[in-house]
Amino acid sequence: MKQQIEVNGIQLYAYHGCLDEEGRIGGHYIVDVSLTTDFTSAALTDDLTQTVDYVDVNRIVSEEMAIRSKLIENVGHRISRRIFQELKAIEKLKVKITKICPPINGDVENVAIIIKSKASDFLS
């Protein structure tokens, strides 16, 4: 059986962007992660070791967001790769990174990237 686990609204302050100012000043980000897995055993046994621990997802996202990149596309790729490497029960993954109030000379609330992938995209 396939089920979804979502860790939504991870709020972070990070220093991503192509402008030098973004590296110094930083900005607000929101990360959402959706995982496809089989947590049937965990549901039946009430055993955390039989599913994905949300703490691990949050840790990976936080650690990768702390590494400066020019592009949030790069950060999303790193988050995806690490989740597949460290959380073995994941079959599919969706990572959304939203950059709040990007400095793009316009009244724009946010920009976002979405990466949808499967384990074989990173573990070949």
Cα Rg, the chain, nearest whole Å: 16
Residues 6+ apart with CB under 8 A from 39: 3, 5, 50, 51, 52
At 53 the three-state DSSP class reads: coil
Q: Which of 70, 88, 96, 99 is catalytic?
A: 99
Task: Please give the span between the terminal C-alpha atoms of the chain, in angstroms, as a whole number.
Answer: 24
Q: CA 74 to CA 64: how far, in whole Å?
A: 10
Known catalytic residue at 99: yes
Cα-to-chain-centroid distance, residue 9: 10
Cite the active site residues: 99
